[in-house]
Amino acid sequence: MFSSAKNLPGLLLMVLILTCINCKKQTPGTEEEVSTQKIDSIPIVNAAPAKQPLPALFPFGNDLSSFDLTQALGTEAGDCITRLREYRKDALRIVTDSTNCHEYGIHNQYFLLDKDALEQVHIFEYYPQYDPSGESVIYIATETVYVLSQQPPKSYVRTDTLLQPEPGQMKTDFETDLIPDPDALQEDLRVELASLEDTVDNDYDFSFIVSTNENSDSLDSRKDIFLISESWKYPVWINEGSAVELIPKEEYKDLGIPKAAVFSIDSKHNNKNYIYYGLIEGSELMIYLRVIDVNQGPDNNFGLHKMESLEQQSPKPSYYLCYIAGESSEEVLMLAFDENDNALWAEFKGSTARQILVKKEEKITVKADRPLEEHFYEIFNDGYPVGTFRLATTDNWRHAYYQLQTTAAEQIFSMDQESIKGERTYHTSPCF
């Protein structure tokens, strides 16, 4: 009996181990206990559905500023204005097609092509309508993306209601679907690109004229710069500058000038460079300006400076004003105006020479508590600037200031009040 007591510690250890194992199995909340619970008492957790991956939106993961703008076209039909622009970089091509029909809606399309293969299309559509109260306008927006480069091709569509027609405002999720007939869709989409397939020929030979008239208010010798073309009837005033330098084509990219620009010039004054370039969009010439301040660094963006019609024609006078040099003077100056109150030409009584007036700018200042409205013109004769012309209006008083380059004195004319008796403030027929 006592000989077996040597094994007692081992037996006690075994009993303790078995007891611990049995206690662990009976702990509340273990798998054994849960398995005896009712099924309807077990909480069910559903996994969140996986979100659809977003398609690459315009500009399709690219930096558009690194592309060259190679074409720009513009068309107008009814209430709609369409602007197409083509950007290229190596084998990639991005086309933007923006159509604004104002109160009838906005339709913008963006195309991505690789070696002329249509890979992706991003479309925005905004249609305005009154909200239920009828007091304000809201926009029913639809955003569609066609991904034609993946297999199988898919479409992504979402709709939303917006206060403003802006792409980044849509909050809804895309719904994904397969494109049933990708070939037919591509054929329809390429119709929108047809007008860009052919290279645009530039038939306009632009050049510049710098007037010899200096701006006396400037610290440097600023002069007027005019753009002319053989197909234009009249020159177009660009701005003032001390000089004009044509920018070589090889410098366009570094300065952010599109390849499609039909001209580009650099004008300097007051430690600033004024860089202009022109794009032909349909029947209009769009002139853009970028200012580079030597002291502060460049402004990275070009802005639209002015827009001129390429189909320039001789404007027809809408009314005439008669001016005299003085009460006792027989010298009469006749000005012809268009429907927008711009002076078209000047002619002196007894002279057959008609001098063309090209408008430069207008200013409104206050002197002696009265507004002074001034309109500045350049006088052209046989296509070249020969002097300056200024019209000034204060209340009902109108004066004309006539200055030729060949004469030192400025001639001052006052509107002939006697000649407009019985009429309003203008003549519907020539003064003489």
CB 284 within 8 A of CB 309: yes
Q: Is the peptide bond before 59 cis (omega within 30 degrees of 0)?
A: yes
Q: How far apart are CA 283 and CA 311, in angstroms?
A: 7
Distance of CA 313 to the CA centre of its chain: 27
Instruction: Kindly provide the b/e burial profile for residues 339-348, where b requires at least 16 CB atoms within 10 angstroms of the residue's own CB.
Output: eeebbbbbbb
Distances (CA, A) of 116 to 91, 212, 352: 8, 50, 60
pLDDT, one tens digit for every residue, the chain (432 residues): 334 444 434 444 444 444 444 444 444 444 334 334 443 444 444 444 555 567 888 999 998 888 888 877 777 777 788 888 888 899 999 999 998 888 888 999 999 999 888 999 999 999 998 877 777 888 899 999 999 998 899 999 999 988 888 777 888 999 999 999 999 998 888 887 876 765 445 567 888 888 877 665 555 567 889 999 887 888 999 988 877 889 998 888 788 888 888 899 998 877 788 999 998 887 888 899 988 887 776 555 788 899 988 888 778 899 998 898 876 667 889 999 998 889 999 999 888 788 999 999 898 888 777 788 899 999 998 888 999 999 998 876 789 999 888 887 888 998 876 655 444 567 788 888
Nearest residue to 255 via CA among 92, 91, 85, 69: 69
Q: What is the CATH number of domain 319-420?
A: 2.40.160
DSSP 3-state assignment of 148? coil
Instruction: Kindly provide the b/e burial profile for residues 287-323, where b requires at least 16 CB atoms within 10 angstroms of the residue's own CB.
Output: bbbbebeeeeeeeeebeebbeeeeeeeebebebbbbb
Sign of the dihedral through C-alpha 394, 400, 404, 408? negative
H helices of 205-361, where?
252-255
**R_g (Cα) of the chain, nearest Å:** 38
Q: DSSP letter string over 244-259?
A: -EEPPGGGHHHHT--T
Rounded to two decimals, the pTM is 0.61
Distances (CA, A) of 9 to 4, 6, 27, 327: 11, 7, 28, 141
